[in-house]
Structure 1
């Protein structure tokens, strides 16, 4: 028999082994461990003892696995059955530990820094998209649809500060892993379970690093840095997977360390509360209703709550509903320098989206009233796109919000897409805005050099 403590990960093991034996043993071991861990947690709760820490949980799991391996071997000997090979035991134990304390056979994919998106359609079909835009079909990460559901259920149950259920009653789940990957999964509303995983390769990033990877130029770096330092309110827009959250992190890197930030998200992704560059951060996450349909906490609820928490800035991970009203109120009530992201196909299209979201709120604002609120609160819209070769993300447009005129938002496109879609200087800034940015360190010579 193999000592659990000496096991290496499942990807380090030989692949020439009877998979049916591995699956059978793994399923038995998984049941033993989850039953005993669950019993221990319930006993601790009943006795009002402190819960086990991560290290203690793993040590208990390893002890249970050792006992289970020994018990199974004795029963097979008594029944006259052949013992499992040592490498079968090793693979089964390693897979159980990976499921309990990692992401199972997803771990090698999550460790691959070149992979950006992972899509799993049923047990057999695994598709990945790399950061350079290339796509690849990979071997299965689970043995059955049931295993896929079990894996996601296990990961969801221990995600974040709130357990997220994944079962027939809750067939759709969205959550983030501790390492930051965002997982979206569905079951029973599709023929087979499906999982989509979005990896944020740049968890801590600044504008200089985005310049180095081609997302923006020196002039744009200086401009956006000054926008943040001048406490202008910013909305980052773009399509799916164009890097809105990454740019939001980079903008936040220009915020002075002494400022108090409140971040608000549907699922934790920004991670500013884990960044030592921002010591005073409170991260808030929306909460789903319980089985009785009560207890939900919406993004709108959290934005209103954030205003009572003495923030210097409020940052909303993604605006996609009526929370646009409390956010714009926050922006116009002394919390200048606040930020958020929004799905939109263009910088101008952001205003239509904001109007559509605002009408969903309990206030039922008219488009005219919404536009007045947006124009009084929002200063800039920064738009991201994929480059023409689809391999890079670029800041393509920046609009300065000027005013509202009935059903229209008046704005100037101060940076517009160049030949390669990367933003080039366009309309001049308003003189008052330019003065604010100059005072915050904006270097217009960098823009003049671009024009030359």
Structure 2
């Protein structure tokens, strides 16, 4: 079985192709001259040149390395074209040359046809259920079946994944029958890369889920434009960030927590030292932001020998020794919640984090549950006390999938709740004032209650005049 990029079955979506054939379709256009042998030959030549430059796998782990590899590929493809011409073969089209270049780069990365899918801006998630069952979850919520296999067989798919885990991550990792679960950040898919999760042995066929970090630059103004929140709420949250409020962003899977957190971070004063702590680089504040001082920290799994692991807990403890103005945690999922609460409550104002939760109010129970996973475990009472002292606001986001007037899939994301966190109350958990809430299903949040005088004074000092909402608050 040949891959589509080897046989001419499709070309990447171009404006002309999309206009003629419809978005998401592929058409044959001059790829027939490219076969597996040609790709393998050029890939081998490039690999030799890369080995001469330095470690062959280094190109996948840095922009400089990939740029060097791309130059070598272009040189070798040009040489192949010249050799074809010397044999009397008609010159290929420009698109064929580009296709060959992409195929060789994909072969070098070890991702093969996945490289083509990662390059599509409209793809949000890639689901692979065996070599020949591939589904694309698009940005508008549409689930699209990809008609081409990503490997010749399930065994070939596992071999490809084994190579990816060995060469693409920060450290070489084993992915095998003995280690059938794997997670990895891929360099492709945009400035922030993509996150890959893979399973074998514990499932019927190899299963792979790849999440592309599509939105590398998002501001609160962008969220207003997409109706995730209204302008007044955006300005209130921006003032809260400037005022140094500690903010927790909650929501379900793919609800837009990281995007919302990234937008909030754009309101941080440019002169402050910001440390980001993440499992995988998703925020990208060190890549695309107006902040001058950003220290990005990324957790690291153990290598194939089981050594070298660096956890979020390790990074959070180190972050507090780096003299930060703010510590931003991408997401907490376990016992590192205790280090996160310590970090937000240690006096360094303006920390932010994301957390999986069904609603803003449920976040208190989630924090208490995760605290019990810490070392040593954090009691429910202690978790409540730490939460009350460490967090000022909880912002909850939801994802809504429906259809537009024409019946086409339509995915929307809303901020539906904003809570002000108060001291521990009689119930033994933090009191909360609901500042914003969603009045109707499928809508964003609207103001409900006034903030405490302390919070009102803080946001006023940061440029947001609370009297703008006085008519709403006074009506309560």
| TM-score normalised to structure 1 length | 0.82
- Aligned counterparts of 1:186 and 1:53: Cα–Cα separation in 2: 26
Moved more, 397-406 or 92-101: 92-101
- Aligned counterparts of 1:116 and 1:163: Cα–Cα separation in 2: 27
1:309-339 per-residue CA deviation (whole Å, 9 max, x = no partner) reads: 0000000000111211111111111211000
Report if the CA contact (8 A) 2:73-2:104 is conserved: no
1:371 corresponds to which residue? 384
1:129 and 1:35, CA in 2 relative to 1: closer, same or farther beyond 3 A?
A: same
Report if the CA contact (8 A) 1:185-1:193 is conserved: no
- Aligned counterparts of 1:68 and 1:153: Cα–Cα separation in 2: 30
Secondary structure of the equivalent of 1:353? helix
2:24 corresponds to which residue? none
1:108-146 per-residue CA deviation (whole Å, 9 max, x = no partner) reads: 433433322221222212212222222211222523235
- Aligned counterparts of 2:128 and 2:451: Cα–Cα separation in 1: 47
**Unaligned runs of at least 5 residues, structure 1:** 1-8, 46-51, 78-82
Q: 1:411 aligns with which of 422, 432, 453?
A: 432
1:4 corresponds to which residue? none
Moved more, 32-41 or 403-412: 32-41
2:226 corresponds to which residue? 213
Q: Does 2:122 align with 1:122?
A: no
Report if the CA contact (8 A) 1:355-1:371 is conserved: yes
Alignment of structure 1 residues 95-174 onto 2, 5 Å: 95-100=103-108, 104-140=112-148, 142-144=150-152, 145-149=154-158, 151-153=160-162, 156=165, 159=168, 161-163=170-172, 165-171=174-180, 172-174=182-184
Report if the CA contact (8 A) 2:239-2:463 is conserved: yes
- Aligned counterparts of 2:377 and 2:445: Cα–Cα separation in 1: 36
1:176-196 per-residue CA deviation (whole Å, 9 max, x = no partner) reads: 425224222314233322222
Alignment length (residue pairs):
431
**Unaligned runs of at least 5 residues, structure 2:** 1-9, 15-26, 59-63, 403-409
Secondary structure of the equivalent of 1:202? coil
1:424 corresponds to which residue? 446
2:422 corresponds to which residue? 402
1:242 and 1:417, CA in 2 relative to 1: closer, same or farther beyond 3 A?
A: same
Report if the CA contact (8 A) 2:172-2:304 is conserved: no
Report if the CA contact (8 A) 1:176-1:269 is conserved: no
1:17 and 1:106, CA in 2 relative to 1: closer, same or farther beyond 3 A?
A: same
| TM-score normalised to structure 2 length | 0.79
- Aligned counterparts of 1:393 and 1:259: Cα–Cα separation in 2: 30
Alignment of structure 1 residues 312-327 onto 2, 5 Å: 312-327=325-340
